[in-house]
A and B are shown apart, each in its own frame.
Chain A
Amino acid sequence: MTSIYDKYTEDLSAKVIESVKEEAEKQKLSSADVKKVLDRAKEEYKKAMISPGEAIGIVTAESFGEPGTQMTLNVFHFAGVAEMQVTEGLPRLIEIFDARKEPQTPIMEVHLKPAYTKDEKTIKKVASLIKEMTFNELSSEFSINIIKGSVESVLDNKKMKDYGFTRKYISNILTDQLKNMEIRESKRGFIFVLKEGSENLSEVYRMKEKIKDTIIRGIKGIAQVLPTLKNNKMVILCGGSNLKEVLQLEQVDENKTKTNNIFEIANVLGIEAARQIIIEESLSVIEKQGLDIDIRHILLLADLMTSSGKISGITRGGIMSEKESVLARASFETPDVHLVNASLVGEEDKLKSVIENVILNQPVPLGTGLPGLVAKMKTGNKND
């Protein structure tokens, strides 16, 4: 039975073959009938394919542009999953396609290994391990002793008890992280002095800020944690993102955990993973807005944005600057810059693409303008 399908793997997409197979089994078709179906499918598949010279980029732009106008009218672009803020709609779409370095609301979706998702208590415990906790949160008071040039802190005993920290534990972490300071325990908290001694006051102030920001527990950059149910599985949503360090935790399922920061994904998981997250993120925005854009357009955009090995946005600094033609670049934004720079180095325009030929009033290499005519000459018979 499988041999019939094998013949068609070259001509047909695996998805088409798969669905024909499924339907054939349901209808109990004979192999001759299956062959008929496949031949017909092949015919239709060929018709549906994009012909060479089709301007797919323009079609993609239009397909995004038209639904995009409707998105603009929707004013509420922020949605709250419980207490967490998420950018949605047009601002998020712009963020993705412009390839902004940091999303407005970085969110990480942390999946846990099955052993840690059994009951709520363990999940909460893991969540508290991820959440960033600074020394500031554990202290009730900071004061500066101007004469001695030292910073004195007062510990919040109630919080210490709640989180189950001991003084010894905290002091160990502090000495480990603040290497240039001398730390002494006092009656209510700690006293910090710079080892080399400090002369001016601003240095002491800076020291105070540094002490406040010392991370006692958790992962840097993660301000919020929220265990939620997603697709019948418990995940921890994190406000703030630090993929590299979260993946190091042993409780975390390192194969599923992801973030919405595209650049972070590219750095940790590579450019192909970044392409995948661009697709997933933009698709989820579009679907949440109730719009319907064919996924092939998104695939094209994602391929284009990652084609140079780095992520480049659909901006004048991104894919537009990768264009070969001077006129094409100048026709997008800041024409004077491009034209002046090109003339300074004597750049050549080969007029291979569309927009420069439009500017020069020539046939564009698109559709029927793409192929040239080739005449087959008779050869051999004449004496030359």
Chain B
Amino acid sequence: MAKEIKIKKHELVPVHEKLSEEEKKKVFQKLNVSMSQMPAILPNDPVLENLDVKPGDLIKITRNSPTAIKSVYYRVVVYG
């Protein structure tokens, strides 16, 4: 009976992407922040299931925003 829930298509869940090391560096440089200053996401978060992440990875989140239509947000994977 246990059907796998495809939560990625749920209307509450925005698009999550894992960034490569190079892209990650660019983001940190552009925002002028360090890793510890970024918002966090836990490695056991259900949306990260198939992304193959490890602590220290940067996740790019593209949200639907009521004020800017699309807005980009970043979260660092932390130790759970």
Interface residues of A (CB under 8 A from B): 13-15, 18, 244, 247-248, 250, 254-256, 258, 265, 267-273, 276-277, 295-296, 299, 303, 306-310
Q: A14-B70, A269-B13 are in contact. List 8 more A-B contacts (CB 8 A).
A: A15-B68, A254-B5, A254-B7, A254-B9, A256-B10, A256-B11, A269-B7, A269-B12
* List of A residues within 8 angstroms of B68 by Cβ: 13-15
Q: Measured between C-beta atoms, what is the minimum distance from A226 to chain B in Å?
A: 22
The answer to whether A265 and B42 touch (CB under 8 A), given A248-B3, A254-B6, A272-B63, is no
Across the interface, do A248 and B1 meet the contact criterion of CB distance under 8 Å?
A: yes
The residue that A272 contacts in the complex, of B13, B40, B65, with Cβ under 8 A, is B13
* List of A residues within 8 angstroms of B3 by Cβ: 248, 250
CA A244 – CA B13 in complex, angstroms?
A: 15
**When each residue 36-80 of chain B gets 1 if its CB lies under 8 Å from chain A and 0 otherwise, what string results?**
000111100111100000000000010101111110000100100
Residue of B nearest to A307 (CB): B39
Across the interface, do A255 and B10 meet the contact criterion of CB distance under 8 Å?
A: yes
17 contacts between A and B (CB under 8 A): A248-B3, A254-B5, A254-B10, A267-B46, A268-B5, A268-B7, A270-B7, A270-B13, A270-B16, A271-B41, A272-B47, A295-B66, A299-B67, A307-B40, A309-B40, A309-B41, A309-B45
The answer to whether A270 and B46 touch (CB under 8 A), given A254-B5, A256-B11, A309-B40, is yes
Q: Return the 5 tightest CB-CB contacts between A and B, nearest first.
A: A273-B12, A270-B47, A309-B40, A14-B69, A309-B42
CA A167 – CA B5 in complex, angstroms?
A: 33
Across the interface, do B14 and A269 meet the contact criterion of CB distance under 8 Å?
A: no
CA A308 – CA B1 in complex, angstroms?
A: 34
* List of A residues within 8 angstroms of B70 by Cβ: 14
Across the interface, do A265 and B66 meet the contact criterion of CB distance under 8 Å?
A: no
A-B CB contacts (within 8 Å), total count: 86
CA A254 – CA B5 in complex, angstroms?
A: 8
Residue of A nearest to B64 (CB): A276
**How many residues of chain B have a CB within 8 Å of chain A?**
31
B33 at interface (Cβ–Cβ under 8 A)? no
The residue that B78 contacts in the complex, of A14, A273, A295, A309, with Cβ under 8 A, is A309
* List of B residues within 8 angstroms of A265 by Cβ: 12
B2 at interface (Cβ–Cβ under 8 A)? yes
CA A254 – CA B13 in complex, angstroms?
A: 12
* List of B residues within 8 angstroms of A14 by Cβ: 68-70
Q: Measured between C-beta atoms, what is the minimum distance from B48 to chain A in Å?
A: 8
* List of A residues within 8 angstroms of B7 by Cβ: 254, 268-270, 273
CA A151 – CA B8 in complex, angstroms?
A: 47
Across the interface, do A306 and B10 meet the contact criterion of CB distance under 8 Å?
A: no
Which of A269, A277, A299, A310: most chain B Cβ within 10 A?
A: A269
* List of B residues within 8 angstroms of A250 by Cβ: 3
Across the interface, do B67 and A15 meet the contact criterion of CB distance under 8 Å?
A: yes
Q: Measured between C-beta atoms, what is the minimum distance from A104 to chain B in Å?
A: 22
Across the interface, do B39 and A303 meet the contact criterion of CB distance under 8 Å?
A: yes
Which of A247, A273, A295, A299: most chain B Cβ within 10 A?
A: A273
Residue of B nearest to A265 (CB): B12
* List of A residues within 8 angstroms of B67 by Cβ: 13, 15, 295-296, 299
The answer to whether A272 and B61 touch (CB under 8 A), given A248-B3, A248-B5, A250-B3, is yes
